[in-house]
Structure 1
Amino acid sequence: MIDGYKELTPVIYGENAIKYLYTEQKKAEGEICFLLHWHDRMELTYVTGGTLRFVTEGEEFLVSAGELAVAGPGQMHGGFAVSEKVCYHTVMFDVERFYNGTAASEKYLRSLGNGELTFVEKIAGKEVSGLLERLVGLLAGRDNGKDSKSSLAAIGTLYEILGCLIEYGRSKSSAKVSPDSGFGQILTYVNHHYTEKLSPAALSAQFGYHEAYFCRRFRELTGITFSEYVRALRMEYAQKLLKESEDEVGTVAWKCGYPDGSYFTREFRKMYGFTPTQFRRMTR
């Protein structure tokens, strides 16, 4: 597993066994909704508007309204906009919390909790979508404090969904692409040096790969090109600096690896639809 992609932000469950988020984003086609990452919990991404390109384990597929993408524990995944507006519900939970000592739990949930199964296709159908609609409704009611019984009902519904998901998972040993330790080192390096001058030619030579293989393998593992990945990291850092510092835009550009402030502004606008100065005004 590639440590450079491990999500470091912990999920705070509080009194609940299930974490729930609703996201509505306006994005340009191909823009990142969430960067490629992995974690030890299970994650369900249920799309209710627009279309998302879901990238996982070296494969990708489109997920549209009423369809589900699943990432098991330890499974790398990322999402990219296909339509101008994308709406999706994210449900996260630790599978181990749902072990209950029964034979069914031991037989089916263990394989999910141990990360033995991976999911490399979208899941659709009235049964699954109906259960998900019920689940997100219960979780929204729970979080809004409207229904004190929603938490228990949501857990029961999640058990039903897990029962449906088992048939879609496949053994990780049969996955087409598995990250190797060499690329793990590369990604860790890029994640720590993305503000510096980086290129596929230099990195492939540094880590002992042919450049053509390096570029192909990088896209297989991340779903995006090397330059797109570096740009995404730089732009995330730029947002942080614009929100939290008093640095001039030119200084922010330099700190993010762009010696040309005008080029940085063009890249920022291309990615987000507004200039760094406009972004700063919007977030203060």
Structure 2
Amino acid sequence: MNPGHLFALTPEQKERYKVQPDQFHPTDRPSSLEEYEVPDFIEKAGLRLWYNTQSDSYRRHWHDAQEIVVPLEGNYSVSVQGTNYLLKPGDFFLIPPGELHELSEPSPGARFVFLMDLEPFCHQTGFLQVRSLLSQPVLISFASCPEIYEKIITLFMQIVLLYWGSSPSWHLLICARMLEIFACYADYRIAGAAPRMEMPRENSGLGKKFDRLLEYLQKNYTKDLSLDEAAQRVGVSKYYFTRVFRSRMGQTFSEYLTYLRIRSAEELLKNGGVSVADVCTACGYDSVSSFNRNFRKLKGYSPTEFRKLYQATRLL
């Protein structure tokens, strides 16, 4: 099967999509390595979708938005934290918020680039699990994920139609499609991670205990909670908990705890009035060296470098 018909555009659409619905025109930004970028969202919407046909490359940069890249014509090169991905037409690629990445076009073509703020979704039931699965780059292609590809790309193309459409409820409808995309991918990952293992359902006693643990971690990630204690909270053995946690969250318990701490540290570091040592303590670390090591491992640069990059851009 050739999936090209799922994302093909008419000549009329190609012309219409070159103009933003709010008539926004991007301003030139100074080029610098590792630049912090403030997304040009539509006012009060927390999102922006580009139909991009430019042959320019985008140097290493980062922002707080989830970025989705969907090539339409020609291949597209994306590098995230030093790992290179060659995207083909129709590929659906998600870049996590806060990750250093760069985009380049090896040959002339066209693609959609979608930026979206995930924070409004964070209070949705079950989104903690989804956000964990999205903490690493995600490539959904016809070859790699045939079970969900058609649904994912169809939902995304519906987002495109809504973005350039005339519905008064366009923003709500786009958010609904994105939640459906996230849910589809989460279900796929959970089912595929351990197909022969009985997984706790959302309405089961075990599933509810697991969800309560995630809520507890969101509020208490600074505490020194061990794997044994976490398993006891759910009421299962450490071995079973380890398997369930990794299959549901896409990472180990320790990795998830580190992810929560570093995500919190990012927000604190944007405040110039808080020292790196204080951020370290506030995020649950006893050692600055351990904090620096984990921060660099996840983000690709030190806490001090992160702060300088952010503050330098805010002064522009």
Number of residue pairs matched by the alignment: 174
Aligned Cα root-mean-square deviation (Å): 3.7
Alignment-derived partner of residue 128 in structure 1:
149
Is the alpha carbon distance of 1:98 and 1:163 closer, same or farther for their aligned partners in structure 2, counting shifts above 3 Å?
same
Is the alpha carbon distance of 1:72 and 1:152 closer, same or farther for their aligned partners in structure 2, counting shifts above 3 Å?
same
- Distance in 2 (alpha carbons) for counterparts of 1:148 and 1:8: 29
- Distance in 2 (alpha carbons) for counterparts of 1:161 and 1:75: 21
Alignment-derived partner of residue 118 in structure 1:
136
Alignment-derived partner of residue 261 in structure 1:
none
What residue identity is the alignment partner of 2:135? L
For CA contacts below 8 A with separation 6 or more, give which structure has more relative contact order: 1
How far did residue 73 of structure 1 move?
Answer: 1.1
- Distance in 2 (alpha carbons) for counterparts of 1:49 and 1:141: 21
Say which SS state the counterpart of residue 12 (structure 1) adopts: coil
- Distance in 1 (alpha carbons) for counterparts of 2:303 and 2:115: 30
Could you tell me which runs of 5 or more consecutive residues in structure 2 were left unpaired when the two chains were aligned: 1-31, 190-248, 260-293
Say which SS state the counterpart of residue 57 (structure 2) adopts: strand
Say which SS state the counterpart of residue 70 (structure 2) adopts: strand
Q: Which portions of structure 1, spanning 4 or more consecutive aligned residues, are displaced by more than 6 angstroms? A: none
TM (norm. structure 2) is 0.46
What residue identity is the alignment partner of 2:300? P
How far did residue 100 of structure 1 move?
Answer: 3.7
Matches within 5 A, 1:2-21: 5-21=34-50
- Distance in 1 (alpha carbons) for counterparts of 2:67 and 2:183: 15
Q: Does 1:91 align with 2:108?
A: no
- Distance in 2 (alpha carbons) for counterparts of 1:59 and 1:154: 30
For each residue in 1:100-137, what CA deviation from the matched residue of structure 2 results, as whole angstroms up to 9, or x when unmatched? 442x123333x36xxx8121x63213533543344344
Is the alpha carbon distance of 1:176 and 1:60 closer, same or farther for their aligned partners in structure 2, counting shifts above 3 Å?
farther
Say which SS state the counterpart of residue 117 (structure 1) adopts: coil
Matches within 5 A, 1:106-185: 106-109=128-131, 111=132, 117-119=135-137, 122-125=139-142, 127-145=148-166, 147-166=167-186, 167=189, 179-181=300-302, 184=305
For each residue in 1:214-242, what CA deviation from the matched residue of structure 2 results, as whole angstroms up to 9, or x when unmatched? xxxxxxxxxxxxxxxxxxxxxxxxxxxxx
More strand per residue: 1 or 2?
A: 1
Percent of residue pairs identical: 17
Is the alpha carbon distance of 1:14 and 1:73 closer, same or farther for their aligned partners in structure 2, counting shifts above 3 Å?
same
What residue identity is the alignment partner of 2:50? L
- Distance in 2 (alpha carbons) for counterparts of 1:81 and 1:24: 10
8 Å CA contact 1:54–1:69 kept in 2: the answer is no
Alignment-derived partner of residue 95 in structure 2:
71
Is the alpha carbon distance of 1:184 and 1:169 closer, same or farther for their aligned partners in structure 2, counting shifts above 3 Å?
farther
Matches within 5 A, 1:1-284: 5-25=34-54, 27=55, 32-83=56-107, 85-102=108-125, 104-109=126-131, 111=132, 117-119=135-137, 122-125=139-142, 127-145=148-166, 147-166=167-186, 167=189, 179-181=300-302, 184=305
8 Å CA contact 1:46–1:66 kept in 2: the answer is yes
Say which SS state the counterpart of residue 36 (structure 2) adopts: coil
Is the alpha carbon distance of 1:152 and 1:183 closer, same or farther for their aligned partners in structure 2, counting shifts above 3 Å?
closer
8 Å CA contact 2:38–2:63 kept in 1: the answer is no
Say which SS state the counterpart of residue 21 (structure 1) adopts: strand
How far did residue 59 of structure 1 move?
Answer: 0.9
8 Å CA contact 2:77–2:105 kept in 1: the answer is yes
Is the alpha carbon distance of 1:19 and 1:155 closer, same or farther for their aligned partners in structure 2, counting shifts above 3 Å?
same
Alignment-derived partner of residue 230 in structure 2:
none
TM (norm. structure 1) is 0.50
- Distance in 2 (alpha carbons) for counterparts of 1:176 and 1:12: 29
What residue identity is the alignment partner of 1:16? A
For each residue in 1:174-205, what CA deviation from the matched residue of structure 2 results, as whole angstroms up to 9, or x when unmatched? x98862449959x96xx99xxxxxxxxxxxxx
- Distance in 1 (alpha carbons) for counterparts of 2:184 and 2:81: 21
How far did residue 44 of structure 1 move?
Answer: 0.4
How far did residue 70 of structure 1 move?
Answer: 1.5
Could you tell me which runs of 5 or more consecutive residues in structure 1 were left unpaired when the two chains were aligned: 193-284
How far did residue 21 of structure 1 move?
Answer: 1.1
